[in-house]
Amino acid sequence: MDLLNTLVEKGLRRELPSREEALAVLTTSDDDLLEVVAAAGKVRRQWFGRRVKLNYLVNLKSGLCPEDCSYCSQRLGSEAGILKYTWLKPDEASKAAAAGVAGGAKRVCLVASGRGPTDRDVDRVSKTIGAIKEQNADVEVCACLGLLSDGQAERLKAAGADAYNHNLNTSESTYGDITTTHTYADRVETVRHAQGAGLSACSGLIAGMGESDADLVDVVFALRALDPDSVPVNFLIPVEGTPLAGEWNLTPQRALRILAMVRFVCPDVEVRLAGGREVHLRTMQPLALHLVNSIFLGDYLTTEGQEGKADLDMIADAGFEVEGAGTATLPEHRGGGGCASACAPSDGAASDSAPSDSTSSAGAEASSARTDLVTVRRRGAGTDLAPNA
């Protein structure tokens, strides 16, 4: 296909595809799916070889969030039967993190529900970072605490944090449909706070919330312009008791096309396969490794993931290898931060303002609801049971 040849050539040059090319990836047929995966796989291997970075989530504080994000089981008014607990102590969090590191995780992601941290919360997380680094000096620590105020990113950096995660989630034009208690601009500002403090920025999206192809391209182009070092791609986990519990809009094939589009738009960035892979990709997860170079190991914040050993077996069986602690994740030209002018959008590419074209919704390809694959987490952090790692 001429489209795929063009996208591969642009990906190898770190050149941004046109909006029309990105949209075309999402509308390719199932008959062409393996060609799409193979093409995006060439770009993935150019910049990341066959390495897979493992990341591990530790939910520091679960539930009772004052924000109304429709996709989240921890939201204000959620009726989901999730674990609810206040802040883990530093030694508890360190113990949970150690399980992930023992399972092969190179990065530990410390997450807490809430609009954003108070200064006291930053102190708590700083002590937790210190406890984790004391036990595993080489592990990367990424904090995900919500909206940041002035100076908080600098304090987290000083405490030893390596990265900060704050996802854009969806397009700017539809953001108000999923959240009303904060804005898209608030999220962009927090990512820039992290970058300004010298933290590696991590920002991604959630697919499967009823968005159109245009919305997906909008948010991925906006991410390219924002230039995070890692882009997690989440697939909505429709948890009972949340407003989006009935949104089952994804097939394995569509999920793979979305991942391929992200790789073509963000060729040299750590693209991470995040929440929902087991629910929506199912037995086609190994194909996704040809598109992404990073995954979460084990469980998520409030739901269970694939068994850690199954993750490691899947990586090995697919012919990939776990990225070691001494190996740099990003290509040399990106260093530890942004790609500056070398990766800047070319003429006609998206700027900080998202594209405004619209296409038909992808809901027509929706799969049957697989509620049997959604299991609320009852182990690991906040419980007396061993974690999944």
Residue among 110, 64, 344 nearest 226 (CA): 344
Task: Confirm whether 72 is a catalytic residue.
Answer: yes
Task: Confirm whether 69 is a catalytic residue.
Answer: yes
Task: Confirm whether 144 is a catalytic residue.
Answer: no
Q: Which of 14, 19, 51, 69 is catalytic?
A: 69
Distance CA 153, CA 159 (A): 10
Task: Confirm whether 343 is a catalytic residue.
Answer: no
Q: Which of 19, 51, 75, 109 is catalytic?
A: 109
Residue among 189, 280, 215 nearest 23 (CA): 215
Q: Which of 14, 19, 51, 65 is catalytic?
A: 65
Cα distances (Å, whole numbers) of residue 62 to 142, 152, 174, 234, 377: 17, 21, 27, 19, 11
Task: Confirm whether 339 is a catalytic residue.
Answer: no
Q: Which of 142, 144, 266, 343 is catalytic?
A: 142
Task: Kindly state the tokens that stand for 296.
Answer: 């979460």
Q: Which of 19, 272, 334, 377 is catalytic?
A: 272
Q: Which of 19, 44, 72, 124 is catalytic?
A: 72
Fill in the amino acid letter for 129: I
Q: Which of 144, 202, 266, 343 is catalytic?
A: 202
Instruction: Please list the active-site residues.
Output: 65, 69, 72, 109, 142, 202, 272
